[in-house]
Amino acid sequence: MPELPEVETVRRGLQPVLEGARITAVRLGRADLRLPFPPGFARRLAGCRIDALGRRAKYLLADLDSGEVLVMHLGMSGSFRIEAEAVGIFHHPRNRDPAHDHVVFELASGARVTYNDPRRFGLMTLVPRAELESHRLFAGLGPEPLGNAFSAATLAEAARNRTTSLKALLLDQHVIAGLGNIYVCEALHRAGLSPLNAAATLATASGAPNAAATRLAGAVREVLTEAIAAGGSSIADHARPDGSLGYFQHAFRVYDREGEPCPRPRCRGIVRREVQAGRSTFFCPACQRPSR
């Protein structure tokens, strides 16, 4: 599943083409993705101008001049490619198999934006702008980890008296929006914290953030910022809208590196893989020792 850096990379790739563009037509290759398209989906989009292209957690949000928001989720294998008449638009698609081209946006500029999704776990829907925050997809989402509302204090408040694991806390979208398995593993290693620790170890008895919470909040911001700058992680199905691959996976410290030496200077540990709640967790048992 693409995580926050992958989705933000896609947003930045689409932004120059979509923001300010007017949709002249929408062609649907089928009636649904993971869920059916809303009634009149193509008709409601035709003629609309996209005023802004944003992101909330792992969702892309296209603000329309009709007052609705086009909400898009990439699912497991979704991607966009951009084709245009003008020079300088992206020209290197990841997948041109028309059998998996499920949504095609024709723009007044002459550009064509195609959504391709072999597994069809993606999602597209339309939500009135005034109802977006209360919509079932967004109600209760935690703060954006790169936004001003996220801090060591918010981590400690969410962790106070929680007996769940530290990794489970970070994966909870009600606590932090957009984090996934890859970047949780990476952030915990940078902070020197065991994913097996109890979440409550981030807070003092009074609920204030301790040194671990401060390190972890900084590590989350750092690893996400670096991944976005590197173009996301092109593991499995993800690629950028121009068809090129991100390269952050080459900088992973622990994720998918079971059995390799820990890259932390002077640490002699070996990266271990354990399964937590059905998902692989990668960490160094030497420099990420569980709290006692």
Q: Are 176 and 145 in contact (CB under 8 A)?
A: yes
100 is in an annotated binding site: yes
Q: Are 9 and 240 in contact (CB under 8 A)?
A: yes
Single out the catalytic residue among 221, 279, 285, 290.
Answer: 279
Distance CA 143, CA 151 (A): 9
Outline where the chain has alpha helix (H): 4-18, 41-45, 152-159, 166-171, 181-191, 211-229
- CB neighbourhood size of 120 (10 A): 16
56 is in an annotated binding site: no
Q: Which two tokens stand for residue 275?
A: 């399964």
162 is in an annotated binding site: yes
Please confirm, yes or no, whether 58 is among the known catalytic residues: yes
Q: Are 183 and 226 in contact (CB under 8 A)?
A: no
Please confirm, yes or no, whether 133 is among the known catalytic residues: no
Residues 6+ apart with CB under 8 A from 42: 25, 26, 27, 28
Single out the catalytic residue among 2, 5, 195, 209.
Answer: 2
Single out the catalytic residue among 11, 56, 58, 81.
Answer: 58
Beta strand extents in 57-139 (DSSP E only): 59-64, 68-73, 79-83, 101-107, 112-116, 123-128
Distance CA 68, CA 71 (A): 9
Q: CA dihedral defined by 92, 96, 102, 107, rounded to 10 degrees?
A: 40
Write out the H or E segment, with its range, that includes residue 143. none
Please confirm, yes or no, whether 3 is among the known catalytic residues: yes
Please confirm, yes or no, whether 2 is among the known catalytic residues: yes
Residues carrying an active site annotation: 2-3, 58, 279
Q: Which residues are annotated as a binding site for DNA?
A: 100, 119, 162
